[in-house]
Amino acid sequence: MTTQKRAYDRTSYILVVDDDNTLLKFFKIHLNKFFSRVIVVKNAKEATDALREKEIDLVITDIRMPRMDGLQLMKRVRKHDSTIPVLVVSGALLSEEQIDACENDADGFLRKPFTVDELHHFIESGMQLREKYMKLAAMLPDKKHFRDLLSGKYKVEKITDRSQRDEAQDILTSLKAS
């Protein structure tokens, strides 16, 4: 196990959603060492409530949960604020549809069980995405096109300010490289 000094933005809210109480306890205890604002909930309804109450910067969700799974929750998060990265974790065997959603729709996927270092790398990647997403969204005349910009359906050329257009292109290029 690598022991490296970690420095995180302690003002960021991380929302963790999982129906496994043991794992939620781990997330709460461990992540509170690095973040002062970790919210752990056991289902998608509680997650939706938390999204309304706090400005969430990152969502980590299990896929398989009763009533509403993590992929359905991801759609709700995107509808609420498309710039919030949704990172998915799962230890279950996934269907082809779930694998496809993890690869193409989620902002990251981590297989359970994972190491502490893998978790930290996962979160660091998610927080970097949030920063880039916020910059990109601020350049758009309408945030509803944000996910379309990421997928290539909305063209960077529609950003009227040339310097912002160039910066947006650089950010998109860096996202594709990572």
Q: What is the DSSP string of 59-109?
A: EEEES--SSS-HHHHHHHHHHH-TTS-EEEEE-S---HHHHHHHHHTSSEE
Angle 18-19-25 (CA atoms, 0-180°, nearest 5)? Answer: 70
pLDDT at position 3, please?
44
Q: What is the DSSP string of 7-52?
A: ---TT--EEEE-S-HHHHHHHHHHHTTT-S-EEEESSHHHHHHHHH
> Going residue by residue through the chain (178 aa), what tens digit of pLDDT does each one get?
444 555 556 678 999 999 999 999 998 888 888 776 899 999 999 999 999 999 999 999 998 888 999 999 999 999 999 999 999 998 776 667 777 766 778 899 888 888 988 998 999 999 999 999 999 999 998 888 999 999 999 999 999 899 999 999 999 999 988 7
pLDDT at position 1, please?
44
Residue 89 · residue 62 · CB < 8 Å? yes
Residues 6+ apart with CB under 8 A from 98: 63, 71, 90
Query: Please, what are the domains in the chain?
Result: 14-129 (3.40.50.2300)
**Calpha distance 128→123 (Å, rounded):** 9
How many of the other CB atoms lie within 10 Å of CB of 169?
A: 13
Buried b (16+ CB within 10 A) or exposed e, 68-80: bbbbebbebbbee
Residue 32 · residue 12 · CB < 8 Å? no
- Which residue is associated with the tokens 């710039």? 83
pLDDT at position 104, please?
74
